[in-house]
Amino acid sequence: MSTRRVVITGLGLVTPLGLGREANWQALLEGRSAISHITRFDTSRFPTRIAGEIKNFDPQQFIDRKEARKMDLFIQYAIAAAELAVQDAGIDLALLQGERTGVYVGSGIGGIGSIEETHRVLMEKGPERVSPFFIIQTIINEAPGHISIRYRASGPNISNATACSTGAHAIGEAFRMIQLGVADRMIAGGAEAPITPLSLAGFCNMKALSERNDQPEKASRPFDARRDGFVMSEGAGIVLLEELGAALKRGARIYAEVLGYGLNSDAYHVTAPSPDGDGAVRVMKMALDEGRVSPQEVQYINAHGTSTQYNDKTETLAIKKLFGDWASQLGVSSTKSMTGHLLGAAGGVETAFTALAIYHQLMPPTINYEFPDPDCDLDYVANRARPAAIVHALTNSFGFGGTNACLLLKKFE
């Protein structure tokens, strides 16, 4: 395999915590919850009435008004996050043009909001009233398609849909493309806009969501003994990856280096993780092995940490199996305690958060950690951010269908 080195030079974040790198990082350090009551539709008949909504998002900050009307919200979030990443990288737009720049952006659900609304139109007004833009509003590959057109990036143009591992897989596969010389730069990550009646009903009836409606800001509580499910959120997390030489040539700020990438399957169940943590152990080991890093050289893990009973218990077990005695020396935090779970966008957002943790040498906290669970007995950086010397960090993403992803990041030297 090629030894081309890959670095992260731009971070684009559109989350319930805010828009952009600075707003999100400040919120993380303050331990601020972005979870609130759903305002977009009547939730009175739903057992869960809370989510991580993005408030006051104006697509016209990033997209022409007429064009925005042809896009589902997840595409708007993807374009906004890509623009924020490019701006953050401070890159000359001419460098993004041509076949040496690609786009790899996925989504777990895609345009479900547009699907629901268009189905209503079909049933109430007939097929002749269905928008001619319906298909391109909803299909997942329109997110990277729009981004590619925007920057005239004519290299790889790819999307994926791997549930809650989507964003991390997209970044990992983009990393591979640069490693192998297919591209020199990749705009990569995930986007999701799942807060709709149908989506909420589906997750509610799976019994996957928290029902802590009386205290929304305390509902997402990974690893806490009183956790009762995840909190659905929306947004996008996109990074600009560059081949090291190209980044250095233009004097780029480098947040972190990507050293390794693991992907595999539990091959166990369509929703539940393997109870022995086997898939999580193997995927973390894959990332470490590629980076030639021993478990004892890792200081921080940005956990998948969804706030569900099985996920948090199993991820803790997997970390203890792989890291042995060193597991107690790790800082492990779940930023989902603040953002909620952005599904297909989570891996993109959390890769950016992990890069920021390395860049600033600060571990973001796991908020709402109040009641220890004997099955979750690691150092979860409880409730307060912590200064730390971080050289190597992992970020985990695990999805329905048993699909797993792990990225190994390193302080740039």
Whether the Cβ atoms of residue 16 and residue 234 lie closer than 8 Å to each other: yes
Q: Tell me, yes or no, whether 199 and 119 share the same domain.
A: yes
pLDDT tens-place string over residues 69-106: 999 999 999 999 999 999 999 999 999 999 999 999 99
Active site residue 164: yes
Q: With 0-12 CB in 10 A as exposed, 13-18 as middle and 19+ as buried, what is 245?
A: exposed
Q: Tell me, yes or no, whether 223 and 269 share the same domain.
A: no
The residue from 169, 304, 376, 392 that is catalytic is 304
Q: Tell me, yes or no, whether 209 and 321 share the same domain.
A: no
Q: Tell me, yes or no, whether 381 and 363 share the same domain.
A: yes
pLDDT band at 219 (very low <50, low <70, confident <90, very high): very high
Question: What are the structure tokens assigned to 201, written together?
Answer: 């009903």
Instruction: Please state the separation of Cα 80 from the chain's center in Å.
Output: 15
Q: Tell me, yes or no, whether 280 and 213 share the same domain.
A: no
Q: Could you tell me if residue 95 is inside a domain?
A: yes
The predicted model gives 5-9 an average pLDDT of 98
Contacts of 323 (CB under 8 A, 6+ apart): 295, 296, 298, 330
Q: Could you tell me if residue 110 is inside a domain?
A: yes
Q: Could you tell me if residue 2 is inside a domain?
A: no
Q: DSSP 3-state assignment of 242? A: strand
Number of folded domains in the chain? 2
pLDDT band at 390 (very low <50, low <70, confident <90, very high): very high
Considering the chain, what is the average pLDDT of its residues?
A: 97
Q: Tell me, yes or no, whether 202 and 351 share the same domain.
A: no
Read off the amino acid at residue 75.
I
Q: Tell me, yes or no, whether 237 and 155 share the same domain.
A: yes
The residue from 146, 341, 392, 406 that is catalytic is 341
Tell me which of 224, 249, 274 is where a domain ends: 249
Tell me which of 200, 226, 249 is where a domain ends: 249
Q: CATH no. for residue 130? A: 3.40.47.10
Active site residue 204: no
Q: Tell me, yes or no, whether 164 and 230 share the same domain.
A: yes
Whether the Cβ atoms of residue 79 and residue 124 lie closer than 8 Å to each other: no
pLDDT of 1 reads 47
Q: Could you tell me if residue 254 is inside a domain?
A: no
Whether the Cβ atoms of residue 102 and residue 187 lie closer than 8 Å to each other: yes
pLDDT tens-place string over residues 186-208: 999 999 999 999 999 999 999 99
Decide if pLDDT at 345 tops 60: yes
Nearest one of 371, 211, 403, 393 to 303, comparing CA atoms: 393
Decide if pLDDT at 3 tops 70: yes
pLDDT tens-place string over residues 270-287: 999 999 999 999 999 999
The residue from 146, 164, 376, 392 that is catalytic is 164
Contacts of 147 (CB under 8 A, 6+ apart): 78, 79, 82, 103, 105, 153, 187
Q: Could you tell me if residue 119 is inside a domain?
A: yes
The percentage of residues in the chain with a pLDDT greater than 90, rounded to a whole number, is 98
Active site residue 304: yes
Q: Tell me, yes or no, whether 375 and 324 share the same domain.
A: yes
Q: Could you tell me if residue 100 is inside a domain?
A: yes
Q: Could you tell me if residue 1 is inside a domain?
A: no
Q: Tell me, yes or no, whether 232 and 284 share the same domain.
A: no
Supply the range of the domain harboring residue 121.
7-249
Read off the amino acid at residue 377.
D
Q: What are phi and psi of 242, to 5 degrees?
A: -140, 150
Question: What are the structure tokens assigned to 89, written together?
Answer: 């990288």
pLDDT of 257 reads 98
Question: What are the structure tokens assigned to 131, written together?
Answer: 């928008």
Q: Tell me, yes or no, whether 245 and 275 share the same domain.
A: no
Contacts of 155 (CB under 8 A, 6+ apart): 98, 99, 100, 101, 102, 103, 182, 183, 186
Whether the Cβ atoms of residue 408 and residue 258 lie closer than 8 Å to each other: yes
Return d(Cα 14, Cα 80) in angstroms, integer. Answer: 7
Check: pTM over 0.85? Answer yes or no. yes
Q: Could you tell me if residue 334 is inside a domain?
A: yes
DSSP states along 59-72: GGGTS-HHHHTTS-
Tell me which of 222, 249, 276 is where a domain ends: 249
